[in-house]
Structures are given as C-alpha cells and as structure tokens.
Chains A and B, each alone.
Chain A
Amino acid sequence: MSEQAGAVIAQIVVVLFLSPLITGFSRTLKARLQTRRGPGLLQPYRDLHKLLQKGMVIPDTASWIFTATPYILFAATLLAALLIPTISAQAPLSLFGGVLAVVYLLALGRFFLALGGLDTGSSFGGLGSSREMTISAIAEPALMLAVFTVAIGAGSTNLSAVAQAGLGESWRFLAPSQMLAFAALFIVLIAETGRIPVDNPATHLELTMIHEAMILEYSGPYLALIEWSAAMKQLVLMTLLVNVFFPFGLSAGWWQLDTLLSLLLFSGKLLLLAAAVVLVETSNAKLRIFRVPELLAVAFVLSAMALISTFLF
C-alpha cells in the first residue's frame, strides 16, 4: 500500500516537474530553428514561479465557475496523467481508469475551461470556447478510433496492460496498424495541444487565437494553474504516443535501479517527439480554421486504415 502511495507521489512529481521542461524545450528549439536565441529551457518554471506570486484580477461579471475552473482543470489533467504509464510500465492508478477515462478527464477539464471563457462576458472568451470545443469535437473520432486500434491489439483499454503488451514484442511498432495509428494520433496531438498549423501558442490578441482567447481574463496564480495544466495535458498526450507505441525501456516497478534509466529514456523519447512537433510547426503556416477539419479528416482516415489493417496483416 505504501509502495503504491509512493508511486503516486513519484508520478505526480515527475509529471509536475517534467511538463514545463517539454514546453521550454519546444520554445527554445523553435527559436533556434527561426535563428533566434529564445528564452531558455527553464523559462516556463520562472513564469510559473512568478505567476504564483502575483496578484490577480477577477472580472466583475464572472461567477464561481470562473474561480473553480483552474482547480478542476488542474485536478482532471493531473489525474489523467496518473492513469498513464510514464517511467514504470505500471501506472500508479491505471486500475481506476483506462484510456477512455484519460480522454474523458481531459474533456472534463476542457468543458470547464470553455465555461470559464464564456463566464467573463468578453467576446474573446466566447470565441475561444467555441473554437476549442469545435476542434476538440472533430478531433475526437480520430483520437478514439486510433486508441481503439491500439486497445484492440492489446486486448485491454487499460494503459498499463497496453504498454506491457508492447514490451512483450519489441518490434510491434513496425506493424502497419501501429504506424498508421501513430500518424493519426500525431495529428490529433497537434490539434489538441494547439500547435501550428491548428492554433498558435505564441499568439496573444489575434483574432485567430483559440486557447489563448479562452484564458485571456485569467491572471496570477489561476493563470499559473491553467498554464501548468496545459503543459501537463501536452505531456499526457505525448506520453500516450511514446509509451503506447514505443514502450521499450519502461521499468517494471518503481523502486529499482533501472527506474532512473527509464526516466532518462522517457525524457529522451519525449524530447524527440517534441522536436518532431516543433519541426512541423516551423515548416508549416497556420491553417484557416475551416481548413482544420480537412486535416483532422486525414487523421480519421489514417486511424480507420489502421483499424482495417489490424486484420489484414
């Protein structure tokens, strides 16, 4: 029991402290690719530290929904992260919810974030909420179908079981169904984390913004919680990709020597994936919002092909 509690705390620590690093790495790498110097790897930590100390302004039109949203979003995202295997193949809480729970916990956070955007009464908030809910809705079938393909292959929706099934056959990711599902999930990752070509995380006060428009009125510690949750959500989705498709190196338990090695390997895999996302970001222009469904339709077709190829090959 105490070992289980230790695993929960260890995973919380990993998720909380690794997630801003991925964001920092993405930003720095993107800056370098654009021949800028960039703010440095640790800037997100400094931002969070600063924001948590600042005062905040609550809009006078807002209700308790606005105040409750950061807490609910933070809790739902962190809980989703506890259901996914990160360093150890055995995620600490994976028995209490599989991949469906992960997807729906992220949806719960998004539901409240969108309400928080509407609660301010500002048109920007409503604009962001509307677009966020639209894009996440049309990304959902591709996400679910790809997830189904993986779950069918492993015979379980439990993510620890999926990762362990992958550990058993190390060359499994070369199967066409796995590769197609990975490609579909990669597109979904870009849409769900709001990266170019779907949304631009660096934009403020542009009419094209989505995520930033929703959280425009948040400030201080609440903004810190939301930014942190966004980083954790990115980590959750990336972990889903790297550990479901490339689980090699995951340690079997938590308190062994190879856990440290596993942490290094996990961080390495995440950074590689983040680099891939940054490459897509820098080599593409932002799409018009009404072109985004076409991109997500491609993801859906890819995951449908992945599904069909599970019994062709």
Chain B
Amino acid sequence: MWPTHELYIAGLLAYALGIGGGLGGHATRVVRPWLSAVLCFLSLIGALFEFGASMGGLLAPTESIWSLASGVPYLTYTARLDPLGAYFTMALSLLAACVSVYSFGYISHSAARRSPGLFCAFLNLLLLSLTLVFTASNVLFFLIAWELTAVAAYFLVVFDHESAEARKGGLLYFLMSRGGTGMLFVGFLLLASAAGSMEFSALHGIGQRLPAFLGAGAFLLLFFGFGVKAGIIPLHIWLPAAHPVAPSNVSALMSGILIKAGIYGMARVFFDFYGALPVWAGMLVLVVGVVSALLGVLYALMEHDLKRLLAYHSIENIGIILMGFGAALLFRAFGHPQLAALAFIAGLFHTLNHGVFKCLLFLGAGSVVHATHTRNMEKMGGLIRRMPSTALYFLIGAIAISGLPPLNGFVSEWLTYQALLAGFGATPALTRVAFPIAGAMLALTAALAAACFVKAFGIAFLALPRSEDAEHAKEVSFSMQTGMAILALACVLLGLGATWFLPVFDPITTAALGIAVSRDLIAGNGFLLTAGSVAHGTVSTAVIALALVVLGAAPLLLWVVWGRKSARVTGPTWDCGLPGLTAENEFTATAFSKPLRMIFAAIFRPRREIQAEYEVSPYYPKSIHFESGIEPTFEARIYEPLREAVLSLSSRMRRLQAGSIHLYLAYVFVTLILLLLFGVRG
C-alpha cells in the first residue's frame, strides 16, 4: 500500500514549515545564507514528498478524498489526488525540486538576497498553493488556493521592488489575474448552481445538464478565465511583462508550471465538468491555440531580451497544448473517443515537456543574467567558453523546445501532428480541412521556434563576447548547475523513453474519456511509438538517438580509410581584410531576425529611425543613431483604449463620491429601500 495520503500531508507540512520559517527569519532579520539554504531544503523535501504522493495518485489510483469541514457554508477543505490532478502535481513537484536545488546557489546572488527569509516564504507559499490548486476538490477551496497562488506570484514578481519595470509588470499581472478570477467565479457558480453542490465530484458531467445557452456561457467564461492564467492570445500581455522581471528561479516556476494551472483548469472543465461540448467549442480552442502558437513565436523572434523571448515562447507552447486539447474536444464531439484520447495525451504530454524544457531554459537564462548582469542578448556572446555547462544545458533545452528529435519536444509535437492528421478522416464535414491546416501552422511554428533558438543560443553563447561583462563571465555555482542538469536529463529521458512513460496517461484518459489507449500507442516491445496503430505511422526516438550516434561516428571510419589524419590548424576567421575580427563585426540578434521582420511586416508594423551626424560628406558619418522597433499591436490597439475607457468612466464616477458623509448615508438608505422592494416583489 503506497502511503499517498501521508506523503501528501508531509509535503504540505514541509512547504508550510518553509513559509513559517521564512516569515520567522524575516521578522528576526536573519539574512545569513544558511537561512535560505534551510528554506530551500524544506521546499525540496516538500517537492519530493509531493512527487511521491502524485506517483501514488497516478499509478495506484484510489478514490481517496480527504475532507475537513470549514464551518462556512459551501466551503469544505476537500483534497483529492485524482489522476489528472496527480499528473499536474507530479509536473509541479519535479520542477519545484529542480528549482529548489538551483535556488541554493541562486538566492545569494539575486535580488532575493536582501531578505531571503521573505523570498523563501513566498516561494514556499507559491508551491503550497499550487499543490492545493491541483488537488482541491471544492469550488471555493479551489478559488482560495487559486488566489493565494496569484498573491504569492505577485510578491515574487515585484520582489525586486526598486525596479520600476518589476512593479509595473507585477501590477499588470495582478490586474489581469483579478479579471480572470472574476470570470472563473461566475463560470463556476453557474455550474455549481446547476449541481446544487460546490464539490468537484458533484460537478462531473454537469455541463450537459445546464440549458445550452448557460452551458455555453459558463464554458466561455471558464475558458477565458483560465486563459488569462495560461496566457492565450489576446489575454497574454501580462506574461512578457511579468515573467522576465521576476528573479529567474521564479520565472522558471511561472513559465514552467504556474501558467499550466490555467491548462489544468481547462482540462478539468473540458473533460471532467463537461461530458460533451459542441463542435464550435472545440474549434474555438483549436483556433485560439493556432493563433497563440503562431503569434507567440513571431513576437519571440523580435525580442533581444533573453527572458522576454522565453516568455513569448511560453505563449507559443500554450498554443501547441491547446491545439491538442481543441482537437480532442472536436474528436469527442464527432464521436471518436480513441482519437480524442490521442489528442488529449498529446496536449498533456506537451504540458509536462514544456514545463521541463522551459524551466531549464529559464534557469539557464538566470545563470547567464547572473554572470553577465544583463538580459540583453546583444551584450552577451562567447559564453560557451566561459560557461560550458550552462551552455550545454541551454542547448539541450533549445533543441527540445524546437521540437527536434530525439528529445521530448519532438515526441509531443509528433503526437500532436498525428492527432491533427487523423482528424481529416474523423468527419465528413468541411471542418475537417481545419485539422491539416492547423498541422501546417504547427509546422510553421516549430520551424520559427528553431530559428528563434538558433538566434538565442547563437547570439548569446557563440562567437566573440559582445561586452566587458560577457568577457568576464564566470560559470555558475555547483547547485545551480545541478538544478539545470536534472532538467536536461529529464528532457533526454522523456524523449528517448516516451513509450515507457505513456501508460501514465491511462488513468487520466479513462477518467476523462472512458478509454485507455497507451497500449495502442506502443508497439515493438516498447521501442515504437505509434499513431494509434502501427499502420498509421510509427517513430522510435530511442532508435533515432542510437542511429545518430552510430552514423555520427561513421565519418571517423572515413578518416581511417583515407589513411592519414589531416592536419588541423587554428586560424583567424576571415574578416574581409579588416584588421582583425571584433565583436562589432559580428551578426546581431536584430540583424538575424530582420528577414522575418520584413516578411511578416503586416503583423509587426516595424518602424526604424536612423540619424547620422556628419561634417563633410554623408558618406563619412561621425556617429550614427539607429533605432528600430515593432508595434505592440495588442497593447496599443486593445488594452490602451480599454485603459482610457476605464479611466474616463472612473473619473465620471468620482462625482458620486464627493466626500460628503450625508450623501453616502443617502446612498445606503436608497439601496436598502430598493433591496427591500426587490425582496417584497420576489
């Protein structure tokens, strides 16, 4: 008997101890390094316990519910490790453990070092509340945990509160998050009122029992409410503002798993609360997925801020996950549970994979920022010689996120492709054209992502250093390297061993769609991954990896055949006859993305400004000022008018609030009368 319950409680206690210890340390003004070490150790312990608990929830699912009465009507502290929640808890715990290890070395160098106690308290609070989000089984309890997550994340984002950028990003995050929660409240209340209960177990399949109009309304509210957290376009603008300004270990958690809370909520609503959804709902999710993926990667390409670039890639990957979910909803609507399970698995697997490689990339970016004191890629360069381990881990993350074989990103994208391909045969209606078109857009997204990571890795890590700081960069501490190493290893293992991992999804798809498909997805003694059956297509990442190693060694044989080992000389790079290659000669990130900026000019609306100063002739300028940028379409076209509308409305509202206490008493009185009248009438 696996001690799921005990491990779950022990993990929560460890996090809680971390919060208490951190607050205590802060109150007594302890800033010694041992404090943060102890607190990070507590979050590591908590993460390991929760990982064990989630394994129990996944591999030995028992319908165990732990409940505490609260004394408040409708609210019970009910927790449940059902397969879906356990899967997300597992992803959270894996990332939390790696981030905790990384934080041992990181905290003493970041903005968090000034009050490590408070920082670790918030970090533990974030982990605790996220665990509760994934396991809560009562609507009100869930929303409390949801809000705690937002509060903890807000304080972590603005931890470097002396930076105006951090304060602004944090505020934007908090405001948007509030709006999302508002939608969630209404959506959940609609569902709960139909069920007459706030317990998740009572909400199972409640969607169909609502009248069609209300059911659709609740679906939209919940989709967009969770979409704010997930960062779908056009609700994404907080994400590139808030993720980069947070300390990097927090960015890693936010991009890795916090935004996945939105995905968890969607999975819960789509596949648990709604037993069936109309075709338009699936199509909406699919289209939002395609748009988010494509625009996310296009905006990422234009970024030179390493962390903002990664934040935009989170939007892209959320889009890819939603393509899987959207396809799954459509298949369920068309009556193909087998295909729905395939698409659902593709989305869920990409959720975990993206968590792993994005966490890795953000930790790598954190190491780079720590070493070079800048987030601007144009001031990095040459780091592969100065930080060899960080460079290797970042490269592994870059290959994985670009969806290249044989790493984990390839596997989940392959499954998504296969699901979309199968979609063409799923329905005779014209809607079926949407599936291959979505697949083509996924191909474009993945290829652009590869271009973006050639840029990110090539400009930041290769060739010559572009600044003093980059020149003197040092490799990061052992604990930071270890945190990244575990995640890099996870990228490799989840890629090569994908077929051995897939049975994990069986209990989830059984609960959601009533069908377990992992046996159909695996063939050839576990070495082959199939698209539902061997006839539809197969791939084997393990064999591909092995073949790459063997064939990569083959040229060495050629050297033997051709006899002597040819001479190898090191020489300078050809510099067009100039006196030596300098960092100024190098290609820049701006230049790298220029062709795409021109090709997609309709989306970017780029502008540039060149001012040259000269004395004699314009051909011999003394100095040149060059500026280029793109129009932040969503911010300028949607959110700016919205902000102005809100401000003008509230300035008009000010007249109501004149500061006279008599007037306020009159308002209270009038409201009371109106309510009484309303009550009498009802």
Contact = CB atoms under 8 A, between A and B. Distances in A.
A270 to B, nearest CB: 22
A134 B599 CA distance: 9
Interface stretch (A37-45, A213-221, A235-243): A213-221
B536 A156 contact: yes
A72 B432 CA distance: 38
A74 B551 contact: yes
Contacts of B591: 126-127, 130
B408 interface: no
Nearest to B527: A96
Interface in B387-441: 395, 399, 402-405, 410, 414, 417-418, 421, 424-425, 432-433, 436-437, 439-441
A291 B395 CA distance: 33
Interface string B610-640: 0000000000000000000000000000000
B414 A122 contact: no
Contacts of A217: 573-574
A145 B555 CA distance: 34
B537 A58 contact: no
A108 B384 contact: no
B599 A75 contact: no
Interface stretch (B456-464, B489-497, B504-512, B664-672): B456-464
A71 B524 CA distance: 29
B571 interface: yes
A137 B447 contact: yes
B663 interface: no
A246 to B, nearest CB: 22
A259 interface: no
A123 interface: yes
Interface residues of B, number: 88
A98 B566 contact: no
Interface string B560-572: 0011101111111
A97 B414 CA distance: 10
A220 B548 contact: no
A29 interface: no
Interface stretch (A17-25, A147-155, A275-283): A147-155
Residue from A98, A103, A137 having most chain B Cβ neighbours under 10 A: A137
Nearest to B539: A97
B502 interface: no
Interface string A225-261: 1000000000000000000000000000000000000
B446 interface: yes
B163 interface: no
Nearest to B385: A63
Interface stretch (B66-74, B185-193, B581-589): B581-589
B546 to A, nearest CB: 9
Contacts of B454: 111, 114-115, 118, 129, 133
A269 interface: no
A114 B459 CA distance: 11
Given A53-B566, A134-B599, A79 B404 contact: no
A122 B574 contact: yes
Contacts of B425: 152
A227 to B, nearest CB: 13
Contact of A55 (B446, B455, B537, B568): B568
Contacts of A143: 443
A148 B435 CA distance: 10
Nearest to A52: B562
Contacts of A120: 463, 573
Nearest to A81: B551
B448 A308 contact: no
A115 B417 CA distance: 27
Interface in A91-148: 93, 95-98, 100-101, 103-105, 107-108, 110-111, 114-115, 118-127, 129-131, 133-134, 136-138, 140-145, 148
A148 B596 contact: no
B462 A119 contact: yes
Nearest to A73: B552
A43 B255 CA distance: 53
A148 B436 contact: yes
Contacts of B679: none
Q: Please classify how large the interface on chain A is, using the bins under 10, 10 to 19, 20 to 34, 35 or more.
A: 35 or more
A130 B593 contact: yes
A176 interface: no
Contacts of B555: 70-71, 74, 221, 225
A156 B421 CA distance: 9
Contacts of A155: 535-536
A56 B621 CA distance: 40
A104 B403 contact: yes
Contact of A74 (B554, B563, B585): B554
A140 B443 contact: yes
Contacts of B463: 61, 118-121
Contact of A123 (B462, B562, B587): B587
Contacts of B539: 96-98, 100-101
B528 A96 contact: yes
Contacts of B464: 61, 121
Contact of A134 (B405, B433, B596): B596
Given A57-B571, A104-B403, A52 B558 contact: yes
Contacts of A75: 547-552, 554
B573 A60 contact: yes
B458 A115 contact: yes
A302 interface: no
Nearest to A71: B552
Contacts of A105: 405, 544
A28 B478 CA distance: 58
Residue from B432, B442, B447 having most chain A Cβ neighbours under 10 A: B447
A307 B543 contact: no
B642 interface: no
Interface string A151-170: 11001111001000000000
Contacts of B444: 137-138, 140-141
Nearest to B402: A111
Contacts of B574: 122, 124, 216-217
Residue from A57, A60, A104, A221 having most chain B Cβ neighbours under 10 A: A104
A290 B598 contact: yes
B547 A82 contact: yes
Contact of A96 (B395, B436, B538): B538
Contacts of B417: 100, 157
A60 B535 contact: no
B587 A125 contact: yes
Contacts of A70: 555
Contacts of B462: 63, 65, 115, 118-119, 121
Contacts of A56: 566-569
A307 B581 CA distance: 50
A57 B570 contact: yes
A32 interface: no
Contact of B572 (A59, A74, A156): A59
B34 interface: no
Closest 4 CB pairs of A and B: A126-B587, A118-B458, A157-B537, A121-B463
Interface of B: 382, 384-385, 395, 399, 402-405, 410, 414, 417-418, 421, 424-425, 432-433, 436-437, 439-444, 446-448, 450-451, 453-455, 457-459, 462-464, 524, 528, 531, 535-540, 543-544, 547-555, 558-559, 562-564, 566-575, 581, 585-588, 591-596, 598-599
